[in-house]
């Protein structure tokens, strides 16, 4: 009768701790080389990650268990990104799903997944939202301009050929230059606003990340202090026995 291995459950705090530790070793963990030296470096790096992780958490994990959990986290983030890209091109109307990222997903994307991609590829993925927003702004501006134009009513009962020389109504006039100029300003304003929001999110993320690192460091110091106290007690007990 085969025995099934017990399922390992990670809390959200454990996942955050694991990702924060891996970020400091990402140059080795995410290296694409397959030579023997690189594999040895990866094994050593995972052993260090396991030591740091076990020193800051209550449930000890092996290096292999942490590596499997890390691979699963990356797969989940990639699935979420693929789902969001499909949602951008779906038809049928309705309310779009809000793009709400937690700090764990953002850390995996910015510091690990997107960090290994060329800058042009990352820019293309992030600018998809800009393209859709720009087209909507341009359509709204054209509709607004049409509504503002007053309606001109003329009595054509006294029509004469001279009326053919009258000025064309503004609705019928082509204003490509003015429209293009206005839409370009709207695009720049939208991009500037989105960049400011992204900068604010990055600032908040880095602040929270620094706070987590400070907390991890505090836990490490406390753990070392307790170990030293334990050793001191053991030494005193040995002295009394002698």
For the stretch 35-50, pLDDT in tens is 999 999 999 999 999 9
147 domain-assigned = no
226 domain-assigned = no
218 domain-assigned = no
What is the tens place of the pLDDT at every residue in 95-110?
Answer: 555 555 566 666 666 6
Distance CA(25)–CA(70), nearest Å, equals 13
Q: Where does the pLDDT of residue 132 fall: very low under 50, low under 70, confident under 90, or very high at 90 and above? A: very low
Q: In the chain, helix, strand, coil percent, each to 5?
A: 75, 0, 25
Query: How many domains is the chain built from?
Result: 1
190 domain-assigned = no
pTM, two decimals, is: 0.42
Residue 24 has pLDDT above 60, yes or no: yes
Residue 192 has pLDDT above 70, yes or no: yes
Ranges 109-113, 120-124, 161-165, 185-189: which has the least confidence: 120-124
Integer angstrom CA distances of residue 168 from 94, 119, 129, 154, 179: 40, 50, 38, 13, 18
177 domain-assigned = no
Residue 178 has pLDDT above 60, yes or no: no
Q: What is the pLDDT of residue 129?
A: 40
187 domain-assigned = no
Q: What is the pLDDT of residue 119?
A: 47
Residue 25's domain spans which residues?
11-85+102-126
């Amino acid at each position: 009768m085969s025995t099934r291995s017990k399922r390992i459950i990670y809390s959200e705090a454990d996942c955050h701790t694991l990702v924060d530790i891996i970020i400091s070793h990402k140059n080795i963990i995410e290296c694409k080389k397959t030579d023997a030296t690189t594999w040895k470096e990866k094994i050593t790096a995972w052993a260090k990650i396991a030591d740091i992780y076990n020193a800051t958490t209550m449930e000890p994990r092996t290096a292999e268990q942490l590596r499997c959990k890390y691979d699963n986290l990356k797969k989940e983030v990639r699935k979420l990104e693929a789902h969001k890209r499909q949602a951008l091109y779906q038809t049928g109307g309705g309310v779009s799903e809000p793009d709400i990222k937690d700090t764990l997903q953002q850390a995996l994307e910015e510091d690990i997944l997107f960090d290994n991609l060329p800058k042009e590829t990352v820019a293309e993925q992030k600018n998809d939202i800009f393209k859709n927003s720009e087209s909507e702004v341009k359509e709204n501006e054209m509709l607004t301009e049409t509504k503002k134009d007053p309606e001109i009513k003329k009595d054509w009962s006294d029509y004469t050929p001279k009326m053919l020389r009258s000025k064309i109504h503004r609705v019928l006039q082509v204003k490509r230059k003015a429209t293009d100029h206005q839409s370009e300003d709207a695009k720049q304003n939208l991009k500037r606003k989105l960049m400011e929001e992204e900068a604010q999110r990055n600032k908040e993320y880095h602040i929270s990340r620094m706070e987590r690192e400070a907390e991890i460091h505090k836990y490490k110091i406390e753990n070392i202090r307790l170990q030293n106290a334990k050793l001191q007690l053991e030494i005193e007990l040995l002295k009394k026995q002698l």
